[in-house]
């Protein structure tokens, strides 16, 4: 996986299994890792410890991502920063800690999907499509402007897929394309994806190299 020259190497990792994942609820910011999630974090930490030239670990400020990143930092001794730009998509506050299979929540979720990206629509206090894309753009700029040539990012399932889709498709990304990408791809807990950043002078600055690699589990 090492890269040379001016190409920047971004390793994107979804956090380990959390208690909210197991309970199948909409999570807040404080859901911790399960014992299995801590083991997953150890496995991915062991894997990325063999990458050459990693200069920074950046984590979402949500607990499950921070705990995963701290495990990687302990194994690698690479500096760790916490950056809220990489936190998970904000869902309606009334969803938090409610089960995903709750019929009323499912009905509300359908309403949000049907109007996703519609100008002026907001179900409650969730992030809109425009706000999510703007945050993804800020996150990509943050990564592009960092001096480190190789960076590990520990974040969340929806936001990482948004980040990947925006990096690759840029202005061609639309609400319907994003939902198709999100619901037709998988990012498993501690699945590893990679982007290369070739610089703004490149016709296509970002290049997707790997999606949801779980070789550290023998898969």
CATH fourth-level superfamily of 8-217:
Phosphoglycerate mutase-like (3.40.50.1240)
Give the pLDDT confidence score for residue 177 in this predicted structure: 98
Which DSSP string corresponds to 120-145? T--SSSPPPHHHHHHHHHHHHHHHHH
Kindly tell me the number of DSSP H helices and DSSP E strands found in the chain.
7, 6
Catalytic residue among 15, 17, 148, 156: 15
Q: What is the pTM of this model?
A: 0.95
Give the pLDDT confidence score for residue 217 in this predicted structure: 93
Give the pLDDT confidence score for residue 175 in this predicted structure: 98
The answer to whether 15 is a known catalytic residue is: yes
Only one residue has tokens 């990482």, namely 160
CB 68 within 8 A of CB 216: no
Low-confidence stretches of the chain (pLDDT < 70) are 1-5, 219
For strand 150-155 and strand 8-14, is the pairing parallel, antiparallel, or unpaired? parallel
The answer to whether 83 is a known catalytic residue is: no
149 sits in the region (left: phi over 0; alpha: psi -120 to 50; else beta) called alpha
Domain boundaries, the chain: 8-217
| Rounded distance between C-alpha atoms, residue 108 and residue 123, angstroms | 8
Give the pLDDT confidence score for residue 6 in this predicted structure: 76
Catalytic residue among 9, 88, 148, 156: 88
């Amino acid at each position: 996986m090492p890269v040379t020259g001016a190409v920047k190497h971004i390793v994107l990792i979804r956090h380990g299994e959390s208690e909210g994942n197991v309970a199948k609820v909409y999570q807040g910011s404080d859901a911790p890792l399960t014992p299995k999630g801590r083991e997953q974090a150890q496995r991915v930490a062991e894997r990325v410890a063999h990458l050459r030239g990693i200069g920074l670990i950046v984590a979402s400020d949500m607990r499950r991502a921070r705990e995963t990143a701290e495990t990687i930092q302990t194994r690698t001794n690479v500096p760790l920063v916490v950056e809220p730009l990489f936190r998970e998509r904000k869902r309606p506050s009334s969803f938090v800690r409610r089960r995903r299979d709750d019929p009323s929540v499912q009905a509300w979720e359908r309403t949000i999907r049907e109007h996703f990206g519609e100008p002026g629509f907001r179900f409650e206090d969730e992030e809109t499509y425009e706000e999510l894309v703007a945050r993804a753009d800020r996150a990509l700029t943050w990564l592009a402007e960092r001096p480190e040539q190789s960076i590990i990012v520990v974040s969340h399932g929806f936001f990482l897929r948004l980040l990947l889709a925006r990096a690759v498709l840029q202005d061609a990304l639309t609400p319907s394309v994003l939902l198709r990408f999100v619901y037709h791809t998988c990012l498993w807990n501690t699945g590893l994806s990679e982007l290369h950043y070739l610089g703004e002078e490149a016709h296509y600055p970002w290049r997707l190299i790997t999606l949801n690699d779980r070789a550290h589990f023998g898969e």
